[in-house]
Amino acid sequence: MNRLKHILFVVLTILFCYIVQSVLLPLIAISAITPNLMLIAVVTFGFIYGEKKGILTGFICGLLCDIFFGPALGYTALLYSLIGFICGHVRRLLYMQGIGFPIIAITVCDLFYGFLNFVFLFLIRNRIIFGQFFFEVMLPESIYTAVLGSVFYPLLMLIYEKAVQDSGRVVLLVRNTDDSENSAL
CB 156 within 8 A of CB 44: yes
Q: How many CA atoms lie within 13 A of 55 on its CB side?
A: 5
- Residue-level pLDDT at 91: 82
Q: What does the radius of gyration of the chain's CA atoms come to, in whole angstroms?
A: 19
Enumerate the H helices of the chain as residue ranges: 2-19, 37-49, 51-69, 75-93, 100-117, 130-133, 139-159
- Residue-level pLDDT at 81: 97
Report mean pLDDT in 10-residue bins for the chain, 185 residues.
87 95 92 94 93 95 91 92 95 76 94 93 79 92 96 92 64 39 42
Model-level pTM? Answer: 0.84
- Residue-level pLDDT at 96: 64
Which residue type is seen at 14? I
Which residue ranges form the domains of the chain, and what is each CATH number?
2-184 (1.10.1760)
- Residue-level pLDDT at 138: 95
